[in-house]
Amino acid sequence: MRRRSIFLTGFMGVGKTTIGRILAESLNIEFIDLDEYITAKEKKEIKDIFLENGEAAFRGMEAEAAAEWTGRDAVVATGGGIIESPEAVKSMKEKGYVIYLQASFPILYERIKGDKTRPLTAVGKEALEERFTQRITLYEKADIVLNTENKTPEQVVNDIKTSLADKRKT
């Protein structure tokens, strides 16, 4: 089957949802935010899922949601930790393209510090940076890696479309 869905990955605060919405609109396909999808499906906020079910359970929910959305004509903004689930990565790549949106930790930290809706920000700056560093090699397994620094969301969308067009030729 031809790969269809476009999964945006990257650390919290990189702009997956903002960029995803613009990309979906310009491609005239559906947009889905996987965190919102899971919240609606589980009828529970992400922070409460972490609190009551735990992070491992949340990763399982992400993998399930990724399997549901792969192979569809959709842009999917994923949660920043989805790449920690090998099952989710397998599903995404099977029938979709995985795009890693990059930015450096200091830029991301300024955007996410103090955000109470993101349970992982509560661990403090150092622990969060460690998470970020540990994830880099997982993020870099994406089909396409794009730096977002000093670019508007529209510029990133153009970069994604160009890279996808190149990929689809190969």
Residues making up the binding site for substrate: 35, 59, 80, 135
Report in angstroms how near the CB of residue 80 gets to ligand S3P at its nearest.
3
- The one segment of 22-30, 68-76, 99-107, 112-120 that binds ligand S3P by CB under 6 A: 112-120
- 15, 20, 81, 96: residue in contact with ligand S3P (rule CB under 6 A): 81
Report in angstroms how near the CB of residue 66 gets to ligand S3P at its nearest.
12
CB nearer to ligand S3P: give 56 or 165. 56
- 89, 118, 128, 157: residue in contact with ligand S3P (rule CB under 6 A): 118
With CA atoms as reference, report the closest residue to 143 among 101, 98, 84, 103: 98
Tell me the site size for ligand S3P, rule CB under 6 A.
Answer: 10
- The one segment of 78-86, 98-106, 142-150, 154-162 that binds ligand S3P by CB under 6 A: 78-86
b/e per residue 120-129 (b: at least 16 CB within 10 A): bbeeeeeebe
Would you count residue 66 as binding ligand S3P (CB under 6 A)?
no
Footprint of ligand S3P (CB under 6 A):
12, 16, 35, 46, 79-81, 118-120
